[in-house]
Structure 1
Amino acid sequence: MAATELQLFEGQLSGQLTASEEGQMKNGDRKRGDVCWTGCVMGLTLTAGGWMSNLIVYLIGEFNLKSIDAAQISNIVNGCTSLFPIAGAILADSFFGCPLVIIISSFISLLGVIMFTLTATVHSLRPPPCTTGSDTCETPSKLQFAVLYAVIALASIGVGGTRFTVATMGADQFEKPKDQAIFFNWYFFTLYVSSVISSTAIVYVQDNIGWGLGFGLCIVANAIGLAIFILGIRHYRNVKPQGSPFMSLAQVVVATIRKRKVSVSSEGENYYYERNGVTKLPSPAPTSSFRFLNRAALKTQGDTETGSNGSIASPWRLCTVEQVEDLKTLIRISPLWSTGIFLSTPIGIQASLTILQALNMDRHLGPHFQIPAGSFLVFNLVSTAISLSIIDRFLCPMWQKMTRRSPTPLQRVGLGHILNVIGMAGSALVESRRLQIVRSHHLTGRPGTIVPMSALWLVVPLAIVGLGEAFHFPGQVALYYQEFPTSLRTTATAMIALLICIGFYLSTAVIDLVRRVTGWLPDNINDGRLDNVFWMLVVIGVINFGYYLTCARLYKYQSVEKDDTSSGSDS
C-alpha cells in the first residue's frame, strides 16, 4: 500500500482531486483542511455531548421531573437528534449541498445552547429547587415546559443537521470504498473521543460548579467549531447537489403502476437508457430481481416525444434503467437495514436506565471525588474509541493477512450483534446483584437512598456494548455509503442515524409498555425489577440476530464485493 490507514486519514482527507485541482492545492493547504475538519467535528460534538449526556440529571435536579419521565424525555430527544440528520441529508443531497446545511445547522445549534444557558441562569424559566425524592417538589409551569421543549428542539435540530452531513462531506473526498471505510473508522473515533471529553469535563462542571458555566462551555465549543469550519471550507472538494433523488425514485414507482398491464421484456433494446439526450451504451437489460419494476424503463408508444431526439415525454411514465436499478438497490438493502432497529433499541434503553442506576449507587472514587451519574456513559464511548483504534490498526490488518481479504461490513455488523446481546446480559447480572443488596439492606420503599454497591460495576456491560458499537456502527455506515446509489450518498450515511432514531423511539415505547403492563419500572427503581427488563432485551437481541443472519445470507454485495476483489489483487 502507498500509505498507511492513518496517513490516509491525516494526509488525504481533503481529497481525491482531479489533476488540475491537485496541481493547484499545496500540501500546506491540505493539512490545514484536515485540521479544520477535525476541529469542526470536535467542537460540534463537544457541544452536543455537553447538553445531551447530562440531560436526565438536569431534568430531575432543575426541573423536578420524575426519574422515569426524565429518562423518557431523554430517549425522545436522542430519537429526534437521530431523525433530523435524515432531513439534513435530504436537503444536502437534493438542494443545498453539505457545506450550507452544516453552517445553518451549526447556527441553530448555537442558538439552542445559548437558550439552554438562559434556562440554567434565569430563575423564572425553571421551577423552584427541591430535594431529590421529595413529594412536595413544584412541577414546571406550562410556560416553563414550552421554553424547555423549544430549547431542546433547537439544540436537537442543530445536532441532527451536522452530525452525519459532516461525515458525508469528509467521505466525499475519497473515491475508493476501502479508503472511505478507513475514513469512517476515524470519523467515529473523533466523534467518540470528543463525546468522552464532553461527558466528563463539561458534565463535571455542570454538576460541581454550575449549569450555567457548563452550558456556557457548550456555547464556546459550538462557536469555535463553526468558525473553524467556515475558515477551512475552501480546502475541501464540494460535491454539488443533483436535485432530489427521491423524486426520481417516486417516478419509478408511479411509472411501474401506470404500466402494470404491460408485459416485461427480456431484450435490452426495449428499455430506455438515455439521460439528458445521451444514451449510455453498451447497456445490458435491467436485472431480473424485482422484475416488475422494469416496466418503468420499458419503452412503449407515446413515452418519448417525436422529433425531439427521443427525449422523455413524461418522466412519470418512462424512467431510465439507472433510476430503476437505484430503487432496486434500496429495496435489496432494506431488510438488512431493518435489523439495526432492534440493535439500537436495547442501546437506548440501557443508556437511560444506566444513569438511573448510577444515581442510586455509590459513585465515589476515593473519599473526596464522586463520578457524575451522567458521565457513566463515557465508559461506553471510551470502549468504542479504543476498540476502533485496535480494530483499524491491528485486527483488520491481521484479518487481511490471514484471509487476503478485508473483513466485510456484514461480518463486522454481525459481530456487533453478538457483543450487544452479551452486554445486555451483563447489565441484567449487575442489576440482579444490585437488587440483592437492596433487599438484604431493606432499602425498598425509600426513594433517594444510595445502595452500598460500587457503580463501577456498570462499566463492564457498558464497555462490552461499546466494543459492539465499534464493529456495527462503522460497518453499517460503510455498507450503506458504498451500496447506495451515488445520488443518495448523504442519505446513506444518515441511514444509521435513522436507525438510532427509531431505536430510541422504540425504547421509549418499550419502557412505557413495561411500565403499564408490569411492575418492573416504578419511579423508585429500588422497588422494581430492572434486571427483567435487561433479560427481555437479551431475548429480543437473540431473535433479531437470527433475523440478521438470514438477511445477510441472502444479500449480495454490489460495490463492496468489487472493491474487495480489486484490493485483494493489489495487496
Structure 2
Amino acid sequence: MDAMERGERAPLLPESYGPKTQEDSLQVPLLKHKKRSGSKAPAVILGFECLESTAFNGISTNLVVYLETVLHGSNLASASNVTTWFGTSYLTPMFGAVMADTFWGNYNTILISLAVYLLGMMLITFSAFLPAAAAATTALCAAGASCAGASSGISSVVSSQTVAFVGLYLVAIGSGGIRSSLLPFGAEQFDDEDNAERKASFFSWFYLCVDFGPIICGVFLVWIQQNVSWGLGFGIATACIALAFAAFVLATPLYKRRMPTGTPLKSLCQVLAAACRKASLKVPTDARLLHEASEKLDSSRPKIAHTSEFTFLDKAAIVVSEEGASSSWKLCTVTQVEELKILLRLLPVWVTSVVVSSAYSQMNTTFVQQGSAMDTTVLSVPVQAASLGSFEVLCVLTWVLLYDKAIVPALRGFSGEPSQLQRMGAGRLLMALTMAVAALVEMKRLDGASRGEQIGIAWQLPQYFFLAGGEVFCYIAQLEFFFGEAPDTMKSMCTSLALLTIALGSYMSSFIYAVVEAFTATGGRPGWISDDLNEGHLDYFFWTMAALCTLNFVVYSAVVKNYKLKTVLS
C-alpha cells in the first residue's frame, strides 16, 4: 500500500479566524440546531474510504498482469505504463488541493471527482470484456456466420487498449481529487471544541481504512481476476466506487462544509517580489529591525523565529518607509519570509524522497513480474504474485507494532527515541536493503531456471518485509516531519508535496526502465528486463536500484546533518 495517502491536511482554524461554515441546504430538521460532535458523518467518510481504497487497489494491484496477458503488452512496456499511471494518480492531488482550497471546497471537489472516477472505472471494466466479445465474433465467423462489420483481432486489442487507458487516466484524475479532499473533509465534521483525542482517533481509523483495500484486493479480487474473469474482478471494484458515490450523496444532510480559503502561494510570491524590489539594499545585522506583524494585529498566526539562511529573502522584511508597509507586495513580515525559507530547506529532503518512491514502485511492477516467473504455490495453495501486496500491508502493521513495542524501548536506554529525520534515514537504508534482497532472490531464481527448476514465490516474502519497513520509517515519518515543519498556512500544500514524491518516483522509475532498455537491449540481446525473464537479468536491475538507494542515503545524510528545525515564538 502506498503509505503516502495516510497524511493529513492543515488543522482547522479557530472559528473566529477560520473560514465560514457552509451549512448544507438539505439540512435534516432534527439535526439543524444540534451540535454536530456526535454526527455520523465521520463514520460515513471512513466507510467511503474503505470502498474507495478497494476500488483503486482493485485496479492497481494486478494492473501489470492485465496489461501483459489481456492487452498483450511487453514486460517492459507494461511496467512503464503502470508506473506512469500510478505516478499520475499521485500527481493529480496537487491540482485537487488547489481546486478545493481556491474554488470548489472539499465537498464539491469530492463530488466532481467521484463522477470522473466512476466513469473511468466503468471504461476499464468495459475494456476487459472487449477481447472476449471479439473472440466470440471470430468464432462465429469461423463457423460460417456473416462477418460483415466484424473487427479483426488486432483492431480489437487496439480498441481495448484505448478504452482501458482512457479509463485509467480518468481514474487517476478522480482519485487525485478525492485524496486531496477526503481526509480534511472528515476533519471538518468535528466541532472546534471536540477534544484532540477524537480527531486523533479519526485519523487512526482512516489509516486503517486505507489499508483495507490492498488486503481485500490481494486476497480476493486478484484471484477472481486471474481465475474467474477480469471483467468480474474490475466490475466488483467499480461497484465499490458506485456504492461509495451513492452513500456519500445520501449522507449530504449530515455534513458540515467549509468555504474555500484561497491558495497560500500568494504569500510566497509576495516575499519573492518584495525581496527583488529591494535587491540593492543591505540586510541589517540586527534581525529585530526587520518587520514583523504586531501581536494585536495578527494574534492568530504563530510567529516564526528568524534564521540566518537565505539572507537575500530577508530583504523582503526591510522597512523602507511607512508607505511601503501599506502593501504586502512591498513589505513582508519575518514570519512570511521564514515560511518560504522552510520550504527551501525541505526541498532537498523532498528530492531524496523521490528516489525512495522510485524503489517503492517496484512492488507493483518488477516484483510482480519476478513473482509470476516463480512457482506460485505456498503449501500447495495457489498464490498470485500480485497478492503479496496484501502481505506487505500486514508487514506494515507489524513494523508499526515492532517500532512502538521493541525498537523505541530499546533505543531509549541508549540515545533516546529516534527523531523524524533519523527515521527517514533508516527508511532509506531499508529501501536499499530491499533492492539487494530482491537481487539475491532473482539470482537464485535464475540459477534454478538454468537447471529447469522453479523456486517458490515464498522466497519473495523477505523483500516485501523489508519494503514495508522502509515504508514505515520513511513515508510515515516524512508525513509527520513535513506536517510539523510546514507553516500553519501551508499544511495542505506540504502534504500534497509529500504525495507528489510518489508521482515523481513513479515517473523516475519509468525513465529508468527506458534507460535500461536503451543500454541493455541492443545488438539482438533481450536486455535486463526481458519478456522472458529467464533470458534477461532482472538481478542486475535490482543491484542498480540498490546502489542508487545507497547513494541516495549518503546524499540525504549530508543534507540533514545541519538541518535547522522550525522555531515558533508564539
How high is the TM-score relative to the length of structure 2? 0.81
Relative to structure 1, the CA distance from residue 155 to residue 372 in structure 2 (aligned partners, 3 Å threshold; closer, same or farther) is same
Which secondary structure does the structure 2 equivalent of 1:265 belong to? coil
Q: Could you tell me how far apart the structure 2 residues matched to 1:151 and 1:408 are?
A: 42
The unaligned stretches of length 5 or more in structure 1 are: 1-8, 131-135, 305-309, 442-450, 564-571
Whether the 8 Å CA contact 1:62–1:126 is kept in 2: the answer is: no
> Per-residue deviation at 1:553?
2.1
Determine the structure 1 residue equivalent to 2:268. 249
Question: 1:295 maps to what in 2?
Answer: 315
Tell me which amino acid in the other structure corresponds to 2:498. Answer: I
Report the CA distance between 1:229 and its aligned residue: 4.0
Which segment drifts farther, 151-160 or 408-417?
408-417
- Pick one of 106, 116, 139 that aligns with 2:114: 106
**What displacement does 1:292 show?**
0.9
Please name the residue that 1:338 is paired with: 351
| TM-aligned CA distance change 1:553 to 1:257, over 3 Å | same
Residue equivalent to 2:28: none
Change (3 A) 1:284 1:412: closer
Indicate the residue corresponding to 1:317 in structure 2.
330
2:424 paired residue among 378, 389, 413: 413
Q: Over aligned residue pairs, what C-alpha RMSD do you find?
A: 3.8
105, 114, 124: which is aligned to 1:97? Answer: 105
Query: Does 2:74 align with 1:72?
Result: no
Amino acid in the other structure paired with 2:271: V
Structure 1 range deviating more: 252-261 or 473-482: 252-261
Alpha-carbon distance in structure 2 between the residues aligned to 1:54 and 1:416: 26
| C-alpha deviation, 1:17, in angstroms | 8.1
Which residue of the partner structure matches residue 6 of structure 1?
Answer: none
CA deviation map 1:419-467 (0-9, x unaligned): 21221111011000000011122xxxxxxxxx52111211210121012
Q: Give the Cα–Cα distance (whole angstroms) in 2 for the partners of residues 93 and 275 of structure 1.
A: 27
Letter in 1 for 2:531: D
User: TM-score with structure 1 length normalisation?
Assistant: 0.81
Give the secondary-structure state (helix, strand or coil) at the position aligned to 1:361: coil
**Equivalent residues of 2:264, 2:490 under 8 A apart:** yes
* Maintained 8 Å contact 1:188/1:385: no
Equivalent residues, number = 523
Match of 2:141 in 1: none
Shift of 1:496: 2.2
2:231 maps to 212
Q: What are the residue-to-residue correspondences of 1:350-499 with 2, within 5 Å?
A: 350-365=363-378, 367=380, 369-392=381-404, 394-395=405-406, 398=409, 407-441=418-452, 452-499=454-501
SS at 1:528 equivalent: coil
Greater Cα shift, 472-481 or 95-104? 95-104
Output the amino acid matched with 1:89: A
Cα gap change, 1:112 to 1:543, in 2 (>3 Å): same
Q: Give the direction of change, closer, same or farther, for the CA distance of 1:79–1:26 in structure 2 (3 Å limit).
A: closer
What is the deviation of 1:227?
3.9
CA contact (8 A) 2:102 2:263 kept: yes
CA deviations 1:325-379 (Å, max 9, x no partner) are: 2111101111111121111111223531111112221112455x42223223222
> Are the structure 2 counterparts of residues 406 and 97 from structure 1 closer, same or farther at C-alpha, using a change threshold of 3 Å?
farther
Match in the other structure for 1:159: 175
Name the stretch that deviates more: 159-168 or 243-252: 159-168
| Displacement after TM superposition at 1:418 (Å) | 2.0
Q: Relative contact order, CA 8 A, sep 6+: which one is greater?
A: 2
- Within 5 Å, give how 1:543-554 maps onto structure 2: 543-554=551-562
| Farther off after superposition, 218-227 or 150-159 | 218-227
Residue of structure 1 equivalent to 2:515:
513
In the TM superposition, what is the alpha-carbon distance from 1:231 to its structure 2 partner? 5.3
Rate the CA distance shift 1:327–1:128 in 2: closer, same or farther, 3 A.
farther
Structure 1 pair 300–163 and aligned structure 2 pair: CA distance change class (3 A): same
Check conservation: 1:277, 1:311, Cα contact below 8 A. no
Structure 1 CA distance for aligned equivalents of residues 511 and 457 of structure 2? 27
Structure 2, unaligned stretches of length 5 or more? 1-5, 22-32, 139-151, 521-526
Q: Which stretch has the larger CA shift, 432-441 or 113-122?
A: 113-122
1:199 alignment partner AA: G
Alignment of 1:79-158 (within 5 A): 79-123=87-131, 138=154, 143-158=159-174
The offset of 1:252, in angstroms, is 1.6
Q: Which amino acid aligns with 1:208?
A: N
| 8 A contact 2:305–2:569 mirrored in 1 | no
> What amino acid maps onto 1:364 in structure 2?
T
Match of 2:3 in 1: none
- Partners of 1:239 and 1:389 in 2: CA distance: 36
Q: How far off its partner does 1:317 sit? A: 3.1
Contact residue 181 and residue 474 of structure 1 kept, 8 A: no
Instruction: Quote the offset at 1:33 in angstroms.
Output: 3.7
- Between the aligned partners of 2:42 and 2:543, the Cα distance in structure 1 is 44
Cα 1:227–1:488, aligned 2, differ >3 Å: closer, same or farther? farther
| Residue 537 (structure 2) pairs with residue 529 (structure 1) | yes
Q: Helix, strand or coil: the match of 2:454? A: strand
How far off its partner does 1:164 sit?
4.5
CA distance in 2, matches of 1:327, 1:220: 44
Deviation of the 1:140 alpha carbon = 5.9
8 Å contact from structure 2 (residues 53, 212) kept in 1: no
Offset at 1:268?
5.9
* 1:58-105, Cα deviation, whole Å (9 max, x unpaired): 111221111221111011111111111111122233333333322322
Deviation of the 1:545 alpha carbon: 1.0
Letter in 2 for 1:311: S
Relative to structure 1, is the Cα distance of residues 59 and 532 closer, same or farther in structure 2, using a 3 angstrom cutoff? same
C-alpha separation between the residues in 2 aligned to 1:282 and 1:503? 34
